[in-house]
Amino acid sequence: MGGKTGSLFWDSGPALVWLHDIRYLLYFALIIYIYKNIFMLLRRQGARLAVNAASGPDCNWGRMMELLLQGLRAAAEPTRLRLLSLCAHAELTVTELTQILGQSQPRVSRHLKLLCEAGLLERHREGTWAYYRLADVSECAHLARTLVDLIPDCNDALTRDLGRLGAIKQVRAATAADYFRANAERWDEIRSLYVPEQDVEAALLNAVGDGPINDFLDIGTGTGRILEVFASRINRGTGIDLSHEMLQIARAKLETAGHRHCQVRHGDMYNLQLPTSEFDVLVVHQVLHYAEDPAVVISEAAQTLRPGGKLLVVDFAAHDQEFLRADHQHRWLGFEPEQVSAWCAEAGLKAQTPRELAGRRLTVLIWLAVREGVTPS
């Protein structure tokens, strides 16, 4: 390094950048990426390699090299490296990133645009906000993680960035705590009618089985509790909810728990707009009784399951607690076992007999339905 310690980021004094440090970082990233991750990328693109074999052996390698160089060029700037590091720790808006970096919004937005175009970051719109996080499904996701792992954590600028990020997370956590305090009495009224939630969660985990889960989807994620329950078992978790307020709560809880492999997204359970055959396990927990048309919800969910994938539906058995309709907006007063099983069959799923968990005045049912085909490995 020419005898200088240097910094990957802007110095707190003169506005100087040690570009040679960035160059060496990118050289290391290139070497590690090629030897550690290129074959993972080839495996994921195996189907396309077979289809395109007739086009010549160089076409796919050329494509991968193009992606690699594009990603390295996008990362070769101090602010963009800081953005990569921050977005690896949390999902953040442009406003939050501007506050952390102390730079203008147009400048930060321009850097984010370049990183997204290179496939190093992902952008998800949520109402009037857009959230950014480190890519985990793009072709350059491995490169993004490699670059972040190579960024030294002893840098002064990075330390300040993470300190300011911590303050933002504290505000989020406080907001979530206020929400729970405001609604605790309302939720406790319902919970007192059925078995403890930990019993339901244990039954859910048991129904899925002991094997690891690659891709997990929670529809109507609410506070993100189901993602927390399955966090230790899954490689990637996604929660979908229509409520922007609930998404804020879920995001804060997942960040506090350190579940970076879990994310939440704004979405409609009637129109998920997710890829087909994308998930191994899908949970619909205490959601169907709010649905105008539960059959459509199950049909939409089934399309996102891989062959052999599992759908778990948790809801109440048919009951006569009318106050849940009047005071808690329940559209359905529970379901008969055969109702949900029939909707699963219509969606191409094979449902098993639901498990019953009897409570004081409400019984919880857990349906397990499987999409026919080879069980995902």
Strand order in the sheet with 129-134: 92-93, 129-134, 121-126
pLDDT in the model for residue 44: 47
For the chain, strand residue ranges (E) read 92-93, 121-126, 129-134, 213-219, 234-241, 262-266, 279-285, 305-316, 349-351, 355-358, 363-371
Please enumerate in sequence order all residues whose Cβ is within 8 A of that of 276, keeping only pairs 6 or more positions apart, or say none. Answer: 303, 304
pLDDT in the model for residue 372: 84
- For residue 191 the two structure tokens come to 């919970």
pLDDT in the model for residue 50: 40
Per-residue burial over 127-148, b = 16 or more CB atoms within 10 Å of its CB, e = otherwise: eeebbbbbbbebbbbbbbbbbb
Phi-psi domain of 239 (left: phi exceeds 0; alpha: psi -120 through 50; beta: other): beta
Domains of the chain listed by start with CATH number? 19-166 (1.10.10.10), 192-371 (3.40.50.150)
Place of tokens 């050329």: 62
Task: Write down the pTM of the prediction.
Answer: 0.69
Of 243, 242, 202, nearest to 366 (Cα)? 202
Q: Can you tell me the distance from the alpha carbon of 263 to that of 305, in angstroms, rounded to the nearest whole number?
A: 18
Distance of CA 85 to the CA centre of its chain: 17
Q: Can you tell me the distance from the alpha carbon of 341 to that of 80, in angstroms, rounded to the nearest whole number?
A: 50
Q: Can you tell me the distance from the alpha carbon of 101 to that of 134, in angstroms, rounded to the nearest whole number?
A: 17
Distance of CA 369 to the CA centre of its chain: 23
pLDDT in the model for residue 30: 55
Q: Can you tell me the distance from the alpha carbon of 155 to that of 167, in angstroms, rounded to the nearest whole number?
A: 19
* Alpha helices per DSSP H over 76-140: 78-89, 94-101, 105-117
Q: What is the pLDDT along the chain (377 residues), one digit of tens a residue?
A: 344 333 333 343 333 343 445 555 555 555 555 545 544 544 444 444 343 444 444 456 677 778 888 888 898 898 999 999 999 988 899 999 999 999 999 999 999 999 999 999 999 887 678 889 898 877 888 888 888 888 877 778 888 999 999 898 888 878 767 766 676 667 767 777 889 999 999 999 999 998 889 999 999 999 999 999 999 999 999 999 988 888 988 999 999 899 989 999 999 999 999 999 999 999 999 999 999 899 999 999 999 999 999 999 999 999 999 988 888 888 899 999 999 999 999 999 999 999 999 998 999 999 999 998 755 44
pLDDT in the model for residue 375: 53
Q: Write the single-letter amino acid at 218.
A: D
Percent of the chain beyond pLDDT 70? Answer: 80
